[in-house]
Structure formats: structure tokens, C-alpha cells
Structure 1
Amino acid sequence: MLKKLFYNRTLVISVFVVLIIALTVVGLGPLIYSMIAGPGVTTEPLDDSRAKEASTDVNGQWRVGDGTAPNFTSVGFSFNEVLPAERRLTSGSTTAVDGEIEVTDQEVTEGSIKVLMEDLTTDKTVRDQNMKSKLFETDKFPEAFFKLTAPVDLSSVPEDGTKGKVTMEGELTIKDATQEIKQDFDVLRDGEHLVIGGAIPINRLDYNVKTPEFLAAKVAEEGDVNILISFKKQD
């Protein structure tokens, strides 16, 4: 009898302890998450406030370069993260971008961009690790690509250091999925540079970017691929 009572008491205490731990985790989840989260590293919009007049012919071959302030080359993403009591925009970005475009008779006739996904970074190490291993699976899919599929008319882009706007069509590949996109972009001729910037709205599920079951946060399905690329004329 005493043995049975002792067993029942132990069982009740064990269940009580488990409930306390569970409630503590649920209650502290948002707090813990807020300690490891932040706005991230953002690819900024194209800025023509310090641009100079174009100093080279637009026709020819252009290659991705580092860029100059404030238009340094980078590609990234922005998604909303949803907490029980908060919704915040989180971004990641990388400067590991390569590619070329060919311009003939003021039209971009060919163009491709490659982004090294392993170099994507936010502002938190833990989030970086989760982003690479669980979302983008960079060990399997180390690169993302954009390939132009239609000519782009640059004849209306100003030469005086102010930005213009063009429409681009192409194929965007993330992980093992490729989608057709058509989007407006800002274009700037700045001295010897040709700069393209903008945001491509995407649904991450279209690219098989699926999130695991996080404790406190959920990642929105809709987000943006953010682009700011500075090209330099090749000799």
C-alpha cells in the first residue's frame, strides 16, 4: 500500500514538473527568440543622390563589380517573421555576387547573375546557421541564379546621373526550383558604372524554401529577393 502511494505521489510530482517546464518554455519562447533575432542585414535600394554623369558608352560587355558608395553590390532577401505579439521584417544579404551582361544598340541582349548562398548573412550567428542549413540547404544548393530571357531596352535611362526604370524578364533559380519572373527595376548610369536595383516579390514555397517548426516564430510565405548590382565596363 505504501509502495503504491509513493509511486502515485512520484508520478504526480513528475507530471507537475513537466508542466512547469513546458509552461516556462512557452512563456520564455518569445523572449529567447527576441534575444537571438534582429532586423538582419539589408540590401538597400538603389540611391542616385551621389551619382555622376555617365562617362562611358553603354554598349559593350559589363561585369559585376564591388560598386561604390552608396551602391555597393549585394543580393539578399526580406521576409516577415511572426511572433505571438510581434511581426518584424528580417533580412539577409551577401556581396558574393558574380555575373555579366552584354549591351548592343542600347539593349541588354544577354545577362546572367550567380549568388553564393553560403555567404548569406543576417545579424545573428544562430539565425545564419538555421537559414543556411534548414531553409536554403546551402550544402546541397550552394548557388542561386538569375538568367535574362528577353532583351532590356536601356535607351530611356538618363546619362546625367539620375535613375531610370526598365522591365526585366528572366528565370530565377533558388535551390532546385526555377520560376519565370517579370519585374521593374531601377537603373542608373553612374560614371563608369551601370547599377541595377529592385525587389522581386516571391513566395518561398515556389522555390521549396520550407521552414521547420520553430518555437516562437513563423516565417511568412511572401517575401522579396532584394537586388543591388553594380556593373563595370570591360575593356
Structure 2
Amino acid sequence: MRKRVLWIIGAVLAVAVIAVGVGPWAYAKFFHGDQPDALGLSGAATGGSGSLDGNWTVAPESAAGYEVWETLNGQRVFVRGQTQDVTGTATVEDSTLSAGVVEVDVASIATDSERRDAMFDMMIMNTGSFPTATFEVTEPVDLSVVPEDGSTVSVPVSGKLTLHGQTRDVTTNFDIRRSGENIETAGAVDVAWTDYGVQKPTTFPNIVVEDAGQVQFSIVLGKS
């Protein structure tokens, strides 16, 4: 009888060890889900010609989202949430971007997990009170450096990023190119979540979300 009890105890301990050791790996491989590619310029550009001057509108194929890293019992994985519910306008004068704003419907951002998205909407971003995120250009951007052959240039852009009702000045590099009648641009802004009053989730103590992440975007502008 004593041997049987010891055997049962040993089996339970073995299962516990396997759960601790294999659990995070299994989460990352099987339960975490496939993540989309980071937002950026996709496919080949055809190039374009003619004046860039005029009014531009964010096209439906644009997208925005976030990337955050989390650790489950030592297993580090990233999560990306994305949406195409993006609107905005831009104005170009004398080949200079003089004004531009992009607005994102935060509640429409989705990941591979509906439970994660519900927590993101209600507990983290509070989309009921702060339904949109925006990026507004605050300094002129010289677009004369953008070639007509469709090749990409990297251009620094300064603006105001608003998340969770908090606005901060940021500067980041935009990859910009011409494609047909459109302007295509993509980039990312590194953010510390607490700078925007965003609190990391603590519901699951074995899941640790990192303090910083990225806001990513891929914007297509069409002439208005």
C-alpha cells in the first residue's frame, strides 16, 4: 500500500514538472496562434509621375495596429493587433507635406484571441472613453526626395501621437514611395505604455507584459 501511495505521489510530481517545463513552450507553439506580419510596405511599387501637390485621403487598404511582447513562465512571445479601420487626410504644397492626420478606430483592432481583445478594449485602452488613436504631423516634411521610379526612401516625420486620451510628441522614420497615383508610407513608433496612461494587464500573474511596444502603420494615400 505504501509503495502504491509513493508511486501516485511520484506520478503527480512528474506531471507537475512536465506542466511547468512544457506548458510555456506549448502555449507559444500551439495556443498563442499565428501572428500577422509587422505592418510595412508590401509588394512591388510601380512608380508614379506628376506633381504631389494637392489634397490626399487615406485609402481603404491602409492599416494600423500595435505590437507587444509578453512572457509566460519564461517563454517570450509577441502579439500583434491590427485593423483597417483607418481614416485621415494630408495636404502637400510645393512638394512639402504641410498637414496630415491619421485616425484609428481602436476598438476594431483585433488579435488572434477574442478574450485578449475584450481585455484590450475594456481594461487596457478603455475604448468606451477613448475610441480613437491619432497621429498628427506637426512639422513640414520634404517629399521632393521621393523618387518617381517607385523606390523607397526613409524620411523623418515629427508629430503628435494620441493614445488613451494622452498626447505625446514623437519623431519616427516613415518609409515612403510612389505607386501609380498613390503615395504609400509605413513605419512604427516605439512607445512606453505608461507614458500614455496605459496600465499593463495583471489578471494572469504568470503572464508578464513588457513595458514598451510599438504602434505600427501602413498608410496608402490617394488624391482627393
TM-score normalised by L of structure 1: 0.80
SS of residue in 2 equivalent to 1:197: strand
Distance in 2 of aligned mates of 1:36 and 1:133: 23
Q: Pick which of 54-63 and 106-115 moved more.
A: 54-63
Aligned residue among 23, 46, 49 for 1:52: 46
1:64–1:230 contact (8 Å) kept in structure 2: yes
Distance 1:41 1:127, change over 3 A: farther
Number of aligned residue pairs: 206
Distance in 1 of aligned mates of 2:38 and 2:77: 16
Q: Alpha-carbon deviation of 1:149?
A: 0.6
Structure-to-structure mapping, 1:136-151, within 5 angstroms: 136-151=125-140
Residue in 2 aligned with 1:94?
A: 83
Distance in 2 of aligned mates of 1:136 and 1:29: 29
Is the aligned partner of 1:63 residue 2:57? Answer: yes
1:80–1:88 contact (8 Å) kept in structure 2: yes
Residue in 2 aligned with 1:190?
A: 179
Aligned residue among 204, 209, 219 for 1:219: 209
CA displacement, residues 80-119 of structure 1 (integer Å, 9 cap, x when unaligned): 1111131011110110000000000000001111100010
2:24–2:75 contact (8 Å) kept in structure 1: no
Aligned residues: percent identity? 31
CA displacement, residues 45-77 of structure 1 (integer Å, 9 cap, x when unaligned): 213x5211214421100000023xxxxx11011
Distance in 1 of aligned mates of 2:135 and 2:100: 8
Residue in 1 aligned with 2:71?
A: 82
CA displacement, residues 193-231 of structure 1 (integer Å, 9 cap, x when unaligned): 101101111111111111231242111111111110001
Distance in 2 of aligned mates of 1:171 and 1:115: 14
Q: Alpha-carbon deviation of 1:189?
A: 0.6
Distance in 2 of aligned mates of 1:32 and 1:117: 30
CA displacement, residues 166-192 of structure 1 (integer Å, 9 cap, x when unaligned): 111010000121100011110011001
Distance in 1 of aligned mates of 2:26 and 2:197: 28
Residue in 2 aligned with 1:3?
A: none
Q: Runs (4+) of structure 1 moved beyond 2 Å?
A: 26-44
Distance 1:217 1:32, change over 3 A: farther
Q: Alpha-carbon deviation of 1:125?
A: 1.1
Distance in 2 of aligned mates of 1:50 and 1:150: 29
Q: Alpha-carbon deviation of 1:38?
A: 2.9
Distance in 2 of aligned mates of 1:206 and 1:227: 20
Q: RMSD across aligned C-alpha pairs, in angstroms? A: 2.2
Distance in 2 of aligned mates of 1:41 and 1:215: 26
Distance in 2 of aligned mates of 1:66 and 1:177: 26
Structure-to-structure mapping, 1:126-165, within 5 angstroms: 126-165=115-154
SS of residue in 2 equivalent to 1:127: helix
